[in-house]
A = this chain, B = another copy of it.
């Protein structure tokens, strides 16, 4: 157990951020609103974050010399995505505080470590088995039952790195499609809804969760998030309790997204995955709460008190993926639409180009 001592940063301090995508961009804007400077470290040319940050280092994530200079120029480090080399984060930790920690990152990067950790802490997940050969995969599927999902243990996102298997004879083809020998076989969870809880934990151990949000996907990519999730108050509370257990067990600092499946059968809630960062399913908090997920994360990593998360309104966040961004001008004409454009110049298929959030009075039935 690490110490609970809090080092509150003064405004004007510099927050280092690994990654310059839309999440880093929105974190940088929240940091600025709170009076902090930002320094984004990102290998990508023309990244969305660089447009709103004080300083930028464009170097590879494994460039020790650049990381060292970066560490010396900032007061704390955080990151916007989990596919950063753990070794780089460990290296940074020798020079500067990093939140969430490398230990957390290591767990969250690997579906096996993640599921082991969750189950060890009494959190229900899908049945799972780690496998390293196609033969082991066939055995695991036989044991877990069909349908099953083969997933790469690392670097999966938006449905990439996973294949669903409905018949036993399809396992070899699925194995070949993934082209990886660090695979996890998961039982298929029949669910009626996917939700997520955006949980935050401060350096003092205080935990604060946003109300659970309902997530709807299209082509394996998040399409809509609806807050609050349309589940019973008991289930909402259970989901928040689960997220609280996880974030506390991780000794986490910052914002953590916990994705869960909601089933009619017991257990009604199973955790699908956790993301050690701000999350697409939390964008609605910008408009619907006094404190957004981005601000909450910045508060936590800076050792500041967490902010209020009561809902001003119900919210529906819709992603603008690829050519959806062509709706931009129409959306600007829609009186209640809060339009966010990530400043990316090319609208490739599947690329998250922006999002729009619409608010509705609390207690009112949502349209559609």
User: Could you tell me if A305 and B290 are in contact, using CB atoms closer than 8 angstroms?
Assistant: no
Size of interface on A: residues with Cβ below 8 Å to B: 45
The answer for the CA separation of A335 and B313 in the assembled complex, in Å, is: 16
A269 to B33, CA, bound (A): 35
- Segment 1-36 of A: residues with Cβ below 8 Å from B: 8, 11-12, 25, 28-29, 32-36
**Per-position binary interface string of chain A over residues 301-318, scored 1 when its CB falls under 8 Å from any chain B CB and 0 otherwise:** 000110110101100000
A52 interfacial contact with B, CB 8 Å: yes
The answer to whether residues A307 and B290 also contact, given A11-B328, A25-B32, A343-B12 and a CB cut-off of 8 A, is: no
Do B290 and A340 have beta carbons less than 8 Å apart? no
A337 in the interface (beta carbon within 8 A): yes
Cα–Cα distance between A72 and B204 once the two chains are bound (Å): 51
CB contact between A341 and one of B33, B287, B310 (< 8 Å): that residue? B33
With the chains together, A87 CA to B29 CA distance in Å?
Answer: 34
* A133 interface contact, C-beta 8 A: no
The listed residue (B32, B343, B354) touching A52 by CB distance below 8 A is: B32
A8 → chain B closest CB, angstroms:
8
Chain B residues within an 8 Å CB radius of A287: 290
The smallest C-beta distance from A189 to any residue of chain B, in angstroms, reads 36
User: Shortest beta-carbon distance, A2 to chain B, in Å?
Assistant: 23
Q: Mark A330-368, 1 if CB is under 8 A from B, else 0.
A: 001111111111110100000000100001000000000
Contact indicator B312/A312 (Cβ below 8 Å): yes
Contact check, B32 vs A312: say whether CB atoms are below 8 A apart: no
Interface residues of A (CB under 8 A from B): 8, 11-12, 25, 28-29, 32-38, 50-54, 287, 290, 299, 304-305, 307-308, 310, 312-313, 328-329, 332-343, 345, 354, 359
Given A33-B340, A35-B341, A287-B290, output 17 extra A-B contacts at Cβ < 8 Å.
A12-B345, A25-B32, A29-B29, A29-B33, A29-B52, A34-B339, A35-B342, A37-B51, A52-B54, A290-B336, A290-B359, A299-B332, A310-B335, A310-B336, A312-B312, A312-B313, A312-B359
